Chain A
Amino acid sequence: MAIRFDHVSKTYDLHSGTGTLFSAIKQVTGSIRSDNPFYALSDISFQIGKGEAFGIIGRNGAGKSTVLKIMAGITKASSGIVEVNGLVSSLIELGAGFHPDMTGRENVYMSAAILGISKKFIDSKFRDIVDFAELWNFIDVPVKKYSSGMYARLGFSVAVSIDPEILIVDEILSVGDVFFQQKCFAKMREIKEKGTTFIFVTHDTIALQNLCSVALLLEAGHQEFLGDVNEAVNRYYEKVGSKFGRLPGKGEKRVEHQRRDIGMSREEIMNNSIPLRAGSRHGPRGLEIVAARIVDLNGLDTLRVAITERLFLYLILGANEDIPEPLAGIHLYDRTGTLVFAAGTPQLKLSLPSLKAGEEVIVSFDLTMSVAPGEYTFSLVAAEPSAEGGPNIGYFHDQINGLGPLQVSADYSKVYPFYGVAQLPMKIQSGAPYVPFVPSSGQPYSARSPR
């Protein structure tokens, strides 16, 4: 076992800076407890096995960084048992130990020295470190002359090249360009495969689902959930944002909701609904997904569709309370669990009619499946806007996960309409044929002697 937390709590004194010198020293030596403690973490227990990939998610201020700092030995738990087994390399901040006046080379050795790693070991790894960071031209330049990207590259490179037994990564993949990020991901997968215990903290739930199998969900210092990463992510989204009505923003048009436009009656949908108990279902259901029917262009109920063909989804949303601004959407996941596409009424800048308790509304989706052939699962979401979370966060009333599978097929005997994960809108044009002028000979092609 690599790391064990057993009923760990961490309190901070929010009033340090007042009181007598004597009491301040007593606090700093742990002789007395603060009379007004703030619980950054309370009663956290988990175990991380050797070689396991463990994720930590939660909103800002949930205590994620505190857990990491305790693991890394930067700070100490106020109570409980903490056991850490092995060399910890923490990417809490890239290049944290770097000194601006020292060169890249000196800082590599410095970072290693901070971890108590011998010079000899770093000598043997030095080439790899600089290779990975792609900084051979700058390695003897003081790091204060580095760009922030170069700084981050060197910091990451050192942290992953020292063969740590435990690697702690805190939200660092937002640095650098997409190429560096991809390189980091590849490197982290490689490290994971080598059997390094891996602890990953991020708001990027897709990266989390990609890299980790088990996750801890923290909420205001409390352990909200510990277990399967997908479950943790679902619960996280449930937590994000509180229920709050919002006036429709500018530029939003209302969906035409005359019954004739939908072309599908309530009874037709109810009688042909796909089973909604396929996967997990979350939410308080103030707004509920009552039924969902999926048909193809020919009006047949199906979950099989040819590539770039359209699917029609009909949802019945039922309001169990007054919902001034209902939202509906669909999430599409590929077989590796990567979110391929998710959108709903807010993304299309549409707003649904407001609902009173007891009312229902039918919403139809017309989705062109321009995705790679294969199997997909999907989630259906009924939600309301959240004021707290910003425009990209909703309050999820009802979320049904793991529906499907949707099968997208392709005719292997023909050229695919595209390759890759999904089709992007693309136009190709060409002009009329013309004869280029060739400067070296001074003659156009046509004037050259024929073969």
Chain B
Amino acid sequence: MSEIGQNNQPGVVVTDAVPSGGRLYWAIVNMGRDLRALWAHRELLFTLTRREIVSRYKQTFFGLGWSLMQPILQTIVYTVAFSLVLKTPSAEGIPYPIFVFANLTLWTYFASSTINAMNSLRANAGLISKVAFPREIIPMSSIFSGLFDFLVSFVVLMILNLFYGFFPNLKFVYIPAILIVEILFILDLALLLSVFTVVRRDLTYVVSFLIMLYMFLTPVFFSIHALPQTLQEFYYINPMGAIIDAFKNVVFYNYEPRWYSLFLATVVLAALFIPSYKFFKRAEKYFADVL
């Protein structure tokens, strides 16, 4: 068994020959080739992302409302249930509704993009069985199209913040960096999980449940300070915990992100990307057979 790469590159010889040379050497060569093919297809990534956004809102009654609906409804439910009934404390100095809304803005993007990306290969089975292109573009376009919903939600958050007396500050320049870490996390998960979904479709339900469990471990609707000290440290190791914490620092406190936890998350996620991507690329040649 060896590799066939994308053969849609002009002048590229695609061969299935058994390579000589070290495993690591070929792993790097293959990955470089895969990434170049991905780069050559960047316009497809933009087009598919746009297509997904457009087709999601075209011919719908609420249109943009759908991207607001989920965080707004959740915010109302959590505000009533946790803040008003259970008296759950918010993070220091932040009114509970915008605290939850801010967390949900990040979390909804994470949860829905992961699930969408996971199902994306099955959803695009027709395309996969008829045309050749780097398959990772499909989950990636799912992830990037989710950014649109994130942006809408973020604008609403800014408006709510003004209402509660929080104003945009210079530290906002860190938000794209925080977002990149989150995208990297979703990408790692999507590359692995989308392959699983290709072979067994019901895994989506399992993953949805696990993501919900993860939401409780990453406190989204209560403050980290409600947890014991030892658990708080664990919170900053968990990537979504680090991301949410950094976002809170920037948006509400005008602080720097907690760099060491963000940096740790980045290193771990970047390292994880290599095997996930290789795993995906290895499986992708069989997608057309299985789907």
The reply to whether A29 and B43 form a contact with Cβ atoms under 8 Å apart is: no
With contact pairs A77-B4, A87-B10, A96-B126 given, residues A116 and B37 touching in the complex (Cβ less than 8 Å) = yes
Quick check: is A76 within 8 A (CB to CB) of the other chain?
yes
Q: A96-B126, A96-B130 are in contact. List 9 more A-B contacts (CB 8 A).
A: A12-B289, A16-B199, A29-B283, A73-B7, A110-B48, A110-B51, A114-B127, A118-B43, A119-B43
Select which of B13, B198, B290 is within 8 A of A85 by beta carbon: B13
CB distance from B121 to the nearest CB of A (A): 11
**Interface size, chain A (Cβ < 8 Å):** 43
Surface stretch bound by A, among B14-22, B65-73, B264-272:
B14-22
Give the residue among B4, B59, B196, B287 with the most A Cβ atoms within 10 A.
Answer: B4
A387 sits at the interface (CB 8 A): no
A109 located at the interface, meaning its Cβ lies under 8 Å from any Cβ of chain B in the complex: yes
Cα distance, A96 to B129, chains bound together (Å) = 9
B13–A16 CB distance below 8 A: no
Q: Are A96 and B131 in contact (CB under 8 A)?
A: yes
Residues of chain A with a CB closer than 8 A to B195's CB: 25, 28-29
User: Which B positions have Cβ atoms within 8 angstroms of A?
Assistant: 1, 4, 6-11, 13-17, 37, 40-41, 43-44, 46-48, 51, 54-55, 58-59, 126-133, 195-196, 198-200, 203, 279, 282-283, 285-290
Q: Which residue of A12, A16, A113 contacts B47 across the interface (Cβ within 8 Å)?
A: A113
Measured CB to CB, the nearest residue on chain B to A115 is B8
Cβ contact within 8 Å between B15 and A116: no
Interface of B, helix, strand, loop or mixed by DSSP: helix
Instruction: Chain B residues near A113: list those with CB within 8 A.
Output: 41, 43-44, 46-47
Contact A83 B13 (CB under 8 A): yes
Q: Taking each of B9, B10, B133, which has the highest tally of chain A beta carbons within 10 Å of its own beta carbon? A: B10
Q: Is A101's CB within 8 Å of the partner chain B?
A: yes
User: For window 47-73 of chain A, which residues contact chain B by CB distance below 8 Å?
Assistant: 69, 72-73
How far, in angstroms, from A288 to B127 measured CA to CA in the complex?
51
Interface residue A339 (Cβ < 8 Å from any Cβ of B): no
| CA–CA, A61 and B132, complex, Å | 22
Do A116 and B14 touch (CB < 8 A)? no
In the assembled complex, the CB of A10 is this many whole angstroms from the nearest CB of chain B, namely 9
Contact residues, A264-314 vs B (CB, 8 A)? none
Q: Are A101 and B9 in contact (CB under 8 A)?
A: no
**By the criterion CB–CB under 8 Å, are B4 and A74 in contact?**
no
Instruction: Report chain B residues within 8 Å CB of A207.
Output: none
| Measured CA separation A92–B1 after assembly (Å) | 26
Say yes or no: B13 contacts A114, CB within 8 Å: no
**4 shortest interchain CB distances as A-B pairs:** A76-B285, A96-B130, A73-B132, A113-B44
B-chain residues with CB within 8 Å of residue A84 when the two chains form the complex: 7, 13-14
Nearest-CB distance from A40 to chain B (Å)?
9
A113 to B40: give the CA distance in the assembly, Å: 9
Question: Is there an interface contact between A21 and B199, defined as CB atoms closer than 8 Å?
Answer: yes
Chain A nearest CB from B168 CB (Å) reads: 35
**B130 near A93 (CB under 8 angstroms)?**
yes
User: CB < 8 Å: which of B16, B46, B290 contacts A28?
Assistant: B290
Task: From known contacts A80-B16, A86-B11, A116-B44, infer whether A97 and B130 are also in contact, taking CB-CB under 8 Å.
Answer: yes
Whether B127 pairs with A25 at a CB distance below 8 angstroms is no
* Known contacts A12-B289, A119-B43, A21 near B200 by CB under 8 Å: yes
25 pairs of residues in contact across A and B, judged by CB atoms under 8 Å: A16-B290, A24-B200, A25-B283, A27-B286, A29-B279, A29-B286, A73-B4, A73-B7, A73-B8, A75-B285, A75-B289, A76-B16, A76-B285, A77-B4, A83-B13, A83-B16, A88-B8, A92-B131, A97-B127, A99-B55, A101-B58, A113-B41, A113-B46, A114-B133, A116-B133
Q: If A102-B51, A116-B44, A165-B10 touch, does A25 touch B199 (CB 8 Å cutoff)?
A: yes
Q: Specify which of B17, B48, B127 is in contact with A81 (CB 8 Å cutoff).
A: B17
Q: Do the beta carbons of A101 and B199 come within 8 Å of each other?
A: no
Say how far B187's CB is from chain A's closest CB, in angstroms. 19
Which chain A residue lies CB-closest to B278?
A29
Whole-angstrom distance between the Cβ of B189 and the nearest chain A Cβ: 15
